[in-house]
Structure 1
Amino acid sequence: MKYHHHGYVSCDPRIQDPAGVGIGRPDDLPDEVDVLIVGAGPAGMIAAAQLSQFPNIVTRIVDRRPGRLEIGLADGMQKRSIETFEAFGFAQELMAEACHVTETAFWKPDPQKPENIVRVSRVDEDPHDVSEYPHLTVNHARVLDYFAEFMANAPTRMRPDYGYEFQSLTVADEGDHPVTVRLLRTAGDRAGQEHVVRARYVLGSDGAHSGVRKAIGRTLRGVSSNHAWGVMDLLADTDFPDIRTKCAIQSESDGNILLIPREGGFLFRAYVDLGDVAPDDQGAIRKTPVEQIIARAQRIFHPYRLDVRHVAWSSVYEVGHRLCEHFDDVPLDQVGQREPRVFIAGDASHTHSAKAGQGTNASMQDGFNLGWKLGHVLEGRSPVSLLSTYSAERQKIGQDLIDQDLRWATQMAKASEAFASHAEFEQAYLRITEFAQGFMTQYGPSMITASGRHQQLASGYPIGKRFRSAEVMRVADANRLHLGHEAKADGRWRIYVFADAARAGENSATTSLGRWLDESAESPIRGYTPAGQDENAWFDVKVIYQQAHSDVDIGQVPRAFLPRVGPYKLTDLENVYAALPDQDIFSLRGIDRQGAIVIVRPDQYVAEVLPLNAVNELSAFVQAFAKRQQ
């Protein structure tokens, strides 16, 4: 965390000074806003949190609830989400209160006594070590609390406006605020009154029954698996030995259970298989009493005792897999020709089963993807064409998620004898959970994601996939840290320069690149950063040398990697790193010893890989998505 460069800070440095629209922010919802977000769920809150970092953009987020969510229905936070929370500064706090899921135990009928279940194996949750973070379970209302705290401490002093229910919207053909939204107050002294807001852009993150989605004529299309599950959060006394371990349990004749331990040491969630649903059921399965679900769970757990003492929450759902054909309001025959004004995210745009833990996790990546893009367009950093990449990228990911989730739901619904062997079930689980952890997402070529011509220079950083962190040594203070953790959700692009074998100060490709970045009008620093702002205000440039940190003379490092920041124009020494002898990032991530440039988007996805001397290609790539400022 960097502070003091604007003057001495004696209070919590996470609380940023108010700026722009955060100075004297009105309590009441204004009549005109830049961005109106409908729905304070995961997708909406992360988008709002990202936009809270743009001081001159008026963003408001409304929700029909009278106040904060108290009981979240999603409990699983996948590893990719924890990486994202690190960017927003609360991963460590959340991990301290959450349950860490480190392995999954598999149970099936005992061959000698099939009416009983027996543990047959355990598998690591991350057998390929694709992230340094754990898989967590925690009330997702706490995640929303942390996002609310982040935006409250941001320059814009943003907070949710509770007690407003979406009624309708219209989009005009012209005007600075072309989207007119009618809201109904649902709480407070003015409950029942209408409030009209005019916005430049609207994000509908208002759930599977989204009014925003219906208002722009989008429809969720897909299928139901005609299979029902009862889900319960329980406090129970039991002699089942793996009650604090994630379990996939198959019984002989009563179906299956997916058991998820929850935070706090005692609570756990059980997804209980209720079997196939008759075509003429007409929703009757959803009225299954919780006592009946408990009884089935007790039979599945046999011979172990399950004495339920308290049901914190329960529900019944049929597995559904549905997706919108487009995630904004542009007609399909006008894509690329018309500016989108209304967007949908999260359950408003895609739904799937709860067991793969993708509802909240995928929704947050929707909001993260869109938030910075809206910020860049509204702030004049990027052309409006950037907004078209949101639907193009996230709709495809939504389809990929549904395809994988459908496979997992089908596997979980199978009877134990349907598998050729237990190993077949275990391997199916491992294949699907790797995707569910969030690391198979890969965006295709676009104005912000290159085609991969030079991918071989950094094979461990596939273009379109998330930037995978690794440990390095910060040269200035000999601190060993994760490179990826230094990238915060501040809306900046990252340019990582992995140096060639030459030392700092020697005539080399790294030195030449540094000189170009510092001096050329075509460089991101000089050509695309507004005059008067910090040199790294829009593009955060870092260098990683191959030598040990003690062999890097920071006085010889090119100026481009030592930006001047703050009103006192202090030199930032903390953008210079060195490889570690025991965990060399060059070897770990397949980076060519001749060096490479790795460009990373504000949402942490790799956008381009280039040779150190490819300054013309670097300039052309930046020019495609950034507006020249100087």
Structure 2
Amino acid sequence: MLDLLLARYGLSDESLLCIDTKPSTLKSGQADGIQPRTLEVFKTLGISDEIENEACQMWQFAFWNPSPDKEKIIERTAVMPEVIPPARFGYEATIHQGRIERIMETDLLRYSKRGVLRNTRLVDVVIDENGDAEFPVVVTMNTNGTERTVRTKYLVGADGAHSVVRQSLGLKLEGESLDHIWGVVDLVADTNFPDIRRRCGIHSPAGSVMVIPRERIATGEYLTRLYVHVPEIVSPGDDQLPAKTTESKSEDARQRRTKITLGGILKQAADAMQPYYIRPKDGAIDWWAAYQIGQRVLPEFIVKDSKNAARVFIVGDACHTHSPKAGQGMNVSMMDSYNLAWKLIYQINGLAPTSTPDNPTPLLNTYQTERHEIAQQLIEFDRKFSTMFSGQMGATEGLTQEEFQQAFKLNNGFTSGCGVEYPENILVVRDSNPSLNPVQGTDYLSGILRPGRRLLNIKLLRHADGGQRDLHDGKIQVVIWLIRFRAFQLTNDTDTPSTGRFRILCLTSQDLLDREGVSAKALERMAILIANFPASTIEQIVLHPRLHRFFEWGDIPDCVKQTSEMRFYDGSALVDAYSIYGVDPAHGALAVIRPDGYVGVVAQLGDVKQVEEYLRACIRTIL
């Protein structure tokens, strides 16, 4: 993900190297779920079509629990939407991780001749400023038995739970490791279980199973993934390890995991799903594994040099580990990279804000501020979710069916990725004075604008050609960053693609046709403001509310056609954008959207100065 983004932002093979120990993309196993927010990001990259068309779409979550009727044993107690918050994609997609890798690698080859350098093992990483202070990170690697050393300005360790980057730099994960042991198996299922094509949480007297429907395979049949709790493997009274544990898991847990067999997992699943039967069809097993649930997080996601400049970044499983059942691992990991990539490109191209001797990389430091917060939330959520799911419903001190369902509902904003909220920093500025906030309402999951949250996709009607647009769509043809304050050029048919640009969302008010009104003056000042920054680093999207009469280009400020001709929309024709975003059409509002699609600041329509102050803290100006 990171390699693809940086290549699309213009880093050439001479400047960018991605190595992988594997000889090819994954062939089986590992992650399988793509959350709605991740799909939104893929849409902005123009790489979501195959997933949309061929993945299994999970629209509902069914809850199965012990039945008061002893003959039934278990019964369906509730069915909920898989995705509760409003989202462009109202489902979670399941498709093999290897296909996701292949989609990305195929797109990467449009920008890189080399692509991923495979069969290459990382041997060691050190920071050595004496040899070359500008390129202080020294990386030793081995490709097909040939060892070599390179120097780089920045290194990103996306190398998994057993990260060599992390270990080389002496970093340690901290947290608790629960001894709930689970088996996972991908199979073509022969079953009479009625909800095999829904995501299910099954709690029965015999144990717990999670059912994940998977995509159709080459034979025309459909895969199913089962997560199976193996309760007899867990020693009573020994379900936690001390906090701040070391890298290695307990030897006892490792020994117990080795006793788990495929046959044991399948028998446990069959017992838990009685009176229904489930078995591999014609013995078709695609992949299976056993694992111990562990929730751990790295205290520092960034390693700095002696001048306090960020040099090494840890992303994904290398800095946070957790159970796979909530479908967060691959998604949160890719969002780490999505958060980091544009910040790196701004720093590399000299577009980052002015630094100080004490803080030479302020933009890069926000990666730690924002993603560590999300990792902590993920660990806390996963600990509760895993404990709930590993328990037995109806036990004396267990969780009730209603409590589990309510927990699923409350946490859906987080698990879908749609409710992620970054804390305040230079990139997330919230007004402490409520009277100055042009946005009303607090239902942020439903789209109310809030700094630190994603901009909700909406459908808009374009003034120039009557085109109906989804704000998030992306079809990028070519992206070229030119070093040192030059523009990056692209051709696209979209409005908020992942091109590394900031966007000013201008929701004009009902006075748009008044040449002396607040809207007209704000638009004119905005055109001047944008010219103060490096070309093409900022775009403007203009919306207008329902107006009292029809109008032509000549009725509004000339700068709208000059700067936003194909990004000027009717905000009321298809949906009520103003109501969704919490903006009064009589007053309007300004919002700056970061390159990763999150709201950075919201200001009153006439307060262009606040927008300017925010942008100057994020981007180096040319004036």
- With normalisation by structure 2, the TM-score equals 0.85
State the shift of 1:614 in Å.
Answer: 1.2
Partner of 1:167: 123
| Residue 256 (structure 1) aligned to one of 185, 201, 208 | 208
User: In 2 relative to 1, CA 207–128 (structure 1 residues): closer, same or farther, beyond 3 Å?
Assistant: closer
Out of 411, 418, 425, the residue aligned to residue 439 of structure 1 is: 418
SS at match of 1:104: strand
Judge conservation of contact 1:549–1:579 (CA < 8 Å) in 2: no
Q: Provide the residue aligned with 2:170 in structure 1.
A: 217
Maintained 8 Å contact 2:592/2:611: no
Task: Give the aligned partner of residue 581 of structure 2.
Answer: 589
State the 1:612 CA deviation: 1.6
CA contact (8 A) 1:596 1:612 kept: yes
Counterpart contact for 1:356–1:433, Cα < 8 Å: no
Preserved contact between residue 78 and residue 438 of structure 1 (Cα < 8 Å): yes
After superposition, the Cα gap between the structure-2 partners of 1:170 and 1:468, relative to the gap in structure 1 and judged at 3 Å, is same
**Partner in structure 2 of residue 38 of structure 1:** none
Q: Is the 8 A contact 2:54 2:215 kept in 1?
A: yes
Where does residue 59 of structure 1 map in the other structure? Answer: 16
Letter aligned with residue 498 of structure 2: A
Mean CA deviation greater in 285-294 or 343-352: 285-294
Structure 2: which amino acid aligns with 1:63?
A: D
**C-alpha distance after superposition, 1:176-229 (max 9, x if no partner):** 2211100011xxxxx211021211100000000001011222111111111111
- Once the two structures are superposed, the pairs formed by residues 35-434 of structure 1 within 5 Å of their partners are 46-56=1-11, 58-113=15-70, 116-154=73-111, 159-173=115-129, 174-185=132-143, 191-252=144-205, 254-264=206-216, 266-275=222-231, 277-278=234-235, 279=238, 281-287=252-258, 288-309=260-281, 310-330=284-304, 338-383=308-353, 384-418=361-395, 419=398, 421-434=400-413
* Contact kept? 1:518, 1:559, Cα under 8 Å: no
Matched with 2:488 is none
Task: Give the conservation status (yes or no) of the 8 Å contact 1:514–1:559.
Answer: no
CA gap 1:93/1:553 in 2 versus in 1, 3 angstroms: farther
Deviation at 1:338, TM superposition (A): 0.7
Long gaps (5+) in structure 1: 1-45, 186-190, 531-536, 565-571
Shift of 1:555: 4.0
Counting only pairs closer than 5 Å after superposition, residues 595-610 of structure 1 correspond to structure 2 as 595-610=588-603
Alpha-carbon spacing, 1:113–1:120, altered in 2? closer, same or farther (3 Å): same
Distance in 2 (alpha carbons) for counterparts of 1:133 and 1:557: 37
Write the letter of the residue equivalent to 2:9. Answer: F
Aligned position for 2:480: none
Residues 561, 133 of structure 1: alpha-carbon distance in 2 compared, 3 angstrom cutoff: farther
Question: What is the CA-CA distance between 1:51 and the residue it aligns to?
Answer: 0.9
CA contact (8 A) 1:455 1:463 kept: no
Query: Paired residues, what number?
Result: 557
* Paired amino acid for 2:322: H
Q: Which deviates more from structure 2 when the two are superposed, residues 100-109 or residues 449-458?
A: 449-458
For 2:211, the aligned partner's letter is: L
2:124·2:141 contact (CA, 8 Å) conserved in 1? Answer: yes
Contact 1:473–1:549 under 8 Å retained in 2:
no
Deviation at 1:148, TM superposition (A): 1.8
Whether the 8 Å contact between 2:208 and 2:390 is mirrored in structure 1 is yes
Secondary structure at the aligned position of 1:598 is classed as strand
SS in 1 for 2:384: helix
Residue among 435, 442, 462 paired with 2:450: 462
2: CA distance between counterparts of 1:160 and 1:548?
52
Partners of 2:141 and 2:548 in 1: how far apart? 57
Change beyond 3 A, Cα 1:590–1:295: same
The residue that corresponds to 1:7 in the other structure is none
Counterpart residue number, 2:622: 629
Contact conserved, 1:474 with 1:549, CA < 8 A, in 2?
Answer: no
- Residues 219 and 549 of structure 1, relative CA distance in 2, 3 Å threshold: farther
Q: For residue 540 of structure 2, what is the aligned residue in structure 1? A: 541
Residue 560 and residue 143 in structure 1: after superposition, are their counterparts in 2 closer, same or farther (change >3 A)? farther
Q: Sequence identity of aligned pairs in percent?
A: 29
- Structure 2: how far apart are the matches of 1:148 and 1:549? 51
Partner of 2:358: none
Instruction: Say whether the 8 Å CA contact 1:408–1:432 is kept in structure 2.
Output: no
Q: Distance in 2 between matches of 1:445 and 1:119?
A: 43
CA distance, structure 2, for counterparts of residue 562 and residue 140 of structure 1: 44
Contact 1:548 1:581 in 2 (8 A): no
Indicate the residue corresponding to 1:514 in structure 2.
Answer: 523
Q: Which moved more, 1:77-86 or 1:174-183?
A: 174-183
For residues 399-432 of structure 1, give each alpha carbon's deviation from its aligned partner in whole angstroms, at most 9, with x where no partner exists: 0100011110011011011356422221122223
Q: Separation in 1 of the partners of 2:21 and 2:257?
A: 25
TM-score computed with the length of structure 1 as normaliser: 0.84
User: What does the per-residue CA deviation read over 1:345-402, in whole Å, with 9 as the maximum and x for residues that have no partner?
Assistant: 0000000000011100100110001100000110111143211111111111100100
Q: Distance in 1 between matches of 2:128 and 2:555?
A: 57
Q: In structure 2, the residue corresponding to 1:175 is in which secondary structure?
A: coil
Which among 608, 612, 618 is matched to residue 619 of structure 1? 612
Unpaired segments of 5 or more residues in structure 2?
239-250, 354-360, 442-447, 474-494
1:52–1:133 distance in 2 versus 1, CA, 3 Å:
farther
Q: Which amino acid aligns with 2:578?
A: F
2:248 match: none
1:480 CA drift (Å): 2.1
How far apart in 1 are the matches of 2:11 and 2:394? Answer: 61
- CA 1:504–1:378 in structure 2 vs 1: closer, same or farther (change >3 Å)? farther
CA distance in 1, matches of 2:280, 2:384: 31
Q: Distance in 2 between matches of 1:84 and 1:563?
A: 28
Give the match's secondary structure for 2:333.
helix
Three-state SS of the structure 2 residue aligned to 1:50 is helix
